[in-house]
Amino acid sequence: MKTKLSEVANIKLGKMLDAEKNKGDLQPYIGNINVRWGEFDLESVSLMRFEENEQERYRLQYGDLIVCEGGEPGRCAIWENQLPGMKYQKALHRVRGNERVLNNRFLMYWLYLTYHSGKLKRYFTGSTIHHLPTEALSNIEIDLPSIETQNSIARFCENIDRKIALNNTINAELEKAAKLLYDYWFVQFDFPGANEKPYRASGGSMEYNEQLKREIPKGWRVEALGEMLDVSRGSIITEKDTAPGEVKVVAAGITHSYFHAESNRPKNTITVSSSGANAGYLNFWQEEIYASDCITVRAKSDVETLLAYHFLKSMQTILFRKATGSAQPHVYPHDIAGLQMPEIPANLIEKIRELFIGINNQIGKNKIQNKELTALRDFLLPLLMNGQVTVATKDNE
């Protein structure tokens, strides 16, 4: 029997943002931008004023399901008290299920499946910009299995997601290691010099470079990035023009936009978003891609491309500033090609090759495993939800 969500859960919309009316102490809150499917991005958390009588009303607690009201309505994640005392704003719903009959994590996977199957759209409002208002969310009807079955399904999917999260954590640490290595060798210029001692720290000769407005090792050349690397525009393709496939189409967003049957760039390619709110956003792909509304950067070898990527990462703020246009910001290939970059000597590239390629290959392997795990979860999820496949309950594991 179908059950309305409001019958088994308490649903509350977050606090309205109002700089003039809001009073009280400034406190951190999460908004739509902080919510991903199944996780939170808390690198950038804003502050808002909350009065004393609003503390409990808008405070998140462990196990709350946070659901996006707009943007990508229905996108949701479980709050695990990552930052104690966190509040939330009106772009989000807080759902607290009755634990005797509803497992919030089961609900998260149900919403994920319902959204990606297109069935959640019937609850959306708005013809161009979609929303999932409180009333609509409250009226969503679910076929709820027993709480024991919900717990088993949630635990099974959670175990897969935790492995994916572990791989993401490992990749983040590997990327940090690569950045530290790049900074040490090519920003501080303490690469292995004479007798393998740090070049600059051990008195290596430096000279001021007028183009970079800083000192660099004596004898190093500085060239425009376009003179050393291939900087080119992608080939625009709309979603309706794509053919069924698994090649990611990279356009103007911070990740891929859709999929296509063929690629137009090899693996280990740098992309810079060309237009829109994310113009100038830098990314690196360990897989073949179809470059659409973006600029791509490639060197003669993978290791040189990786070094260029770290150089451009250090210029990310400048890339964002290069976005021009009053109606819609744009970044053009000449904006990238004109950047001045030190030309790293071939002997240093060879010395660092094995380390950089090894780190990059491991990141790529972890991403492939995550893709396979996600495919497995998404294949089994509808079968678990409709009872075609069952998993052991805690009592008989």
Dihedrals phi, psi of 15, to nearest 5 degrees: -80, 140
In sequence order, the 6+-apart residues with CB closer than 8 A to the CB of 187 are 314
Q: For position 397, what pLDDT does the model report? A: 45
What structural domains and CATH numbers belong to the chain? 2-144 (3.90.220.20), 169-347 (3.90.220.20)
**Mean of the per-residue pLDDT values of the chain:** 93
Residue 32 CA to residue 88 CA, distance in Å, equals 9
For 204-233, how does the pLDDT look when each residue is reduced to its tens digit (9 = 90+)? 999 999 999 999 999 999 999 999 999 999
Name all contacts of 332-336 with Cβ < 8 Å and 24+ positions apart: 332/274, 332/295, 333/226, 333/231, 333/232, 333/233, 333/295, 334/226, 336/225, 336/226, 336/231, 336/272, 336/295, 336/297, 336/312
Q: What is the pTM of this model?
A: 0.84
For 368-384, how does the pLDDT look when each residue is reduced to its tens digit (9 = 90+)? 999 999 999 999 999 99
pLDDT at 388 over 50: yes
For 229-256, how does the pLDDT look when each residue is reduced to its tens digit (9 = 90+)? 999 999 999 999 999 999 999 998 888 9
For 91-134, how does the pLDDT look when each residue is reduced to its tens digit (9 = 90+)? 999 999 999 999 999 999 999 999 999 999 999 998 778 999 99
pLDDT classification of 87: cutoffs 50, 70, 90: very high
For 290-345, how does the pLDDT look when each residue is reduced to its tens digit (9 = 90+)? 999 999 999 999 999 999 999 999 999 999 999 887 678 899 999 999 999 999 99
